[in-house]
Amino acid sequence: MATFGLVDCNNFYASCERLFQPGLRERPVVVLSNNDGCVIARSNEAKALGIAMGAPFFKVRQIAMEHGVVVRSSNYALYGDMSERVMSVLASQAPAHEVYSIDESFLDLDRLAVPDLTVWCQDLRRRTQQWTGIPVSIGVGPTKTLAKLANRLGRPALPQGEGGR
C-alpha 40/C-alpha 114 separation (Å) is 37
Sheet holding 70-73, edge to edge: 39-42, 29-32, 70-73
- Give pLDDT, residue 102: 96
According to CATH, the topology of domain 13-76 is MutS, DNA mismatch repair protein, domain I (3.40.1170)
Distance CA(144)–CA(26), nearest Å, equals 32
> What separation in angstroms does the CA of 152 have from each of 60, 130, 158?
26, 22, 11
Treating both helix axes as pointing N-terminal to C-terminal, what angle do 12-20 and 76-93 enclose, rounded to 10 degrees?
Answer: 100
pTM of the model: 0.88
Told to judge if 45 belongs to the known catalytic residues of this protein, a careful annotator would answer no
96: amino acid identity, one letter: A
User: What's the pLDDT at 99?
Assistant: 95
- Residue 44, pLDDT score: 95
Going residue by residue through the chain, which has 165 residues, state the pLDDT in tens, using 9 for 90 and above.
789 999 999 999 999 999 999 999 999 999 999 888 999 999 999 999 999 999 999 999 999 999 999 999 999 999 999 999 999 999 999 988 999 999 999 999 987 888 899 999 999 999 999 999 999 999 999 999 999 999 988 776 654 444 444
Contact residues for 112 (Cβ-Cβ < 8 A; gap 6+): 94, 120
Question: Domain 4-10+81-153 has what CATH class?
Answer: alpha beta
pLDDT at 2: 85
Residue 1 has a pLDDT of 72
User: Which entry of 26, 66, 98, 104 is annotated as an active-site residue?
Assistant: 104
Q: How many CA atoms within 13 Å lie on the side-chain side of 65?
A: 6
For the chain, give every domain's residue range.
Answer: 4-10+81-153, 13-76
CATH topology of 4-10+81-153 equal to that of 13-76? Answer: no
